[in-house]
Amino acid sequence: MEFINVIERRYSVRSYRPDPVEPEKIQQVLETARLAPTACNLQEFKIIVMKTANRREELKRIYPRDWFSEAPYVLCVCSIPEKCWVRRDNKNYSDVDAAIVMDHIILAATSLDLGTCWIGAFDAQAAREVLGLDDTMEPVVFTPLGYVQGAVPNRVKKPLSDLVINLD
């Protein structure tokens, strides 16, 4: 699939089939995350790969929607803020690094016909407990990973004229 079509094809999937995902696809997705750029190439992130089977209740504590645990996998990108690059004015880039890693995961998954959905509205304390994270690790974003159920919803995006500021 052309890269531009991957971008056009991606959407937030909120209904999944329970069908297994081939281990090679998981590996390919994770490999694209490994190649993600990070500030100063510090690569201070972890990707937690959870099988959802028998974890419904734990996953509900993290994010209560039923579809969150429908797919066979849930992934979480965690940053390690104290080890990430900090700009001179003290802006820590750990969230930016983690978001790029997740975007690689999500676009790679789309190219392999898998569905995903960025999840930021999770319970961070529950995530820490369920994933067994120590204080140095920050859960930044989750996604389910699996085969899509149902049709593509209508997506509303602003026109470019609302988004681009040209400084000529």
Ligand X SMILES: Cc1cc2nc3c(=O)[nH]c(=O)nc-3n(C[C@H](O)[C@H](O)[C@H](O)COP(=O)(O)O)c2cc1C
User: What DSSP line would sit under 15-63, residue for residue?
Assistant: -B------HHHHHHHHHHHHT---GGG---EEEEEEE-TT-HHHHHHH-
CB of 138 to ligand X, least distance (A): 14
The neighbouring-strand residues paired with 92 are 86
Return the number of the residue (21 or 100) whose C-beta is nearest ligand X.
100
* Least distance from ligand X to the Cβ atom of residue 120, Å: 3
Q: Are 42 and 84 in contact (CB under 8 A)?
A: yes
Residues that bind ligand X (CB under 6 A): 11-12, 117-121, 155
What is 106-163 written as a DSSP string?
Answer: HHHHHHTT-BB--B--S-HHHHHHHHT--TT-EEEEEEEEB-B-SPPPP-----HHHH
Please state, as a whole number, how many other Cβ atoms lie within 10 Å of the Cβ of residue 104: 20
At closest approach, how far in Å is the CB of 133 from ligand X?
A: 18
> Which residue's CB is nearer to ligand X, number 11 or number 147?
11
Q: Which is nearer to ligand X, 5 or 20 (CB)?
A: 5
Which lies closer to ligand X via its Cβ, residue 15 or residue 43? 15
Q: How far is the CB of 158 from ligand X (least distance, A)?
A: 11
Q: Is the Cβ of residue 162 or residue 168 nearer to ligand X in the bound state? A: 162
Q: How far is the CB of 150 from ligand X (least distance, A)?
A: 13
Q: What residues contact residue 153 under an 8 Å CB cut-off, 6+ apart? A: 11
